[in-house]
Amino acid sequence: MINRLRELLEREPFVILDGGLATELERDGSTLDDPLWSAKMLLEQPERVLAVHRRFVAAGADLITTASYQATIPGLLARGLDQAQARDLLRHSVALARSAASSNTLVAASIGSYGAYLADGSEYRGDYGIDRKALFAFHSPRVRVLSAAKPDLLAFETIPSALEAAAIADVLSANDGPRAWVSFSLRQGPGLAVSDGSPLPEAVAPLLGHPRIAAIGVNCVGPAEVLPAIDALVTLTANSPGISILAYPNSGERWIEQAWAGPQTELKVFTELARRWVDAGARMIGGCCRTGPDHIRALTQLRSRQIIPT
């Protein structure tokens, strides 16, 4: 398989990801209060998903992620789809993103954590109460279906647990398909730990040197929390030259008790922080919840000023 990500990284100082697909759908008036979250729109109004993809491409994103973050086979079966329909919807998420992409735009198939399937906020806690074997069994069918749809990458997002990261490494070893990134959610407070409390080095360890891992990073964190994580990841991946560092934080607001709270990071500040992430070694940068096309345009303008990593 042609490594289009590697080709892009060789051309550009950093790759620009998209922003928060689900929260952009909400800005458009979509109601996502549903266990399927943005995947609800794949079922009901896929044209809205397509429109958001196109906005991010027009803003300058080099890579867009599919609306499959919370589209799991068990979740779709619970909605009333049969196995064939569930698999078709997963494949359609990739086809929809591909139809919005330009010839130079990469598509990453989004794969949320087990906690995202539970839809109870546990992607920010990692307190699942199941073992590595069960996590392997959960992720494997969706990985196989999405891989067969031929995205450029798989994107394991908002992973809160060292155990789940190890299970993802197992899944990638057991199945063929494109390379993948794994992006962690972080615990607030002192120290650098993923959301289940595991130290970041412990969570990252099973991924280092894995032939299918293209990038490791953080997402769905505050912009101010990114730089320490990048510094740590640069050190942890120093002997794994094929792994890039990525970061795509929230807008600065936090999801607290079923609502967004706190101030949004000003766009100018977000862009200045992004420059620091690049300087520190991040090679893939975008936005997560509550970031939109304006953030992606700002990153495009940042890159046009020829900011080169040091």
- CA triple 35-41-46, angle to 5 deg: 155
Rounded Cα gap, residues 136 and 167, in angstroms: 5
Q: Please report the DSSP string for 224-270 in residue order.
A: GGHHHHHHHHHHHTTT-TT-EEEEE---S-EEETTEEESPPPPHHHH
The dihedrals phi and psi of 32, each to the nearest 5 degrees, come to -115, 20
| Nearest alpha carbon to residue 154 among 168, 164, 166 | 168
Does the annotation place 288 within a ligand binding site? yes
Provide φ and ψ at 260, rounded to 5°.
Answer: -80, 135
Q: How far is CA 99 from CA 45, 49, 51, 304, 310, in A?
A: 15, 11, 11, 26, 36
Is 7 labelled a binding residue?
no
Nearest to 100 by CA among 58, 71, 69: 58
- Residue 138, annotated ligand binder? no
Under DSSP, the state recorded for 191 is S
Binding residues for Zn(2+): 220, 288-289
Binding residues: 220, 288-289
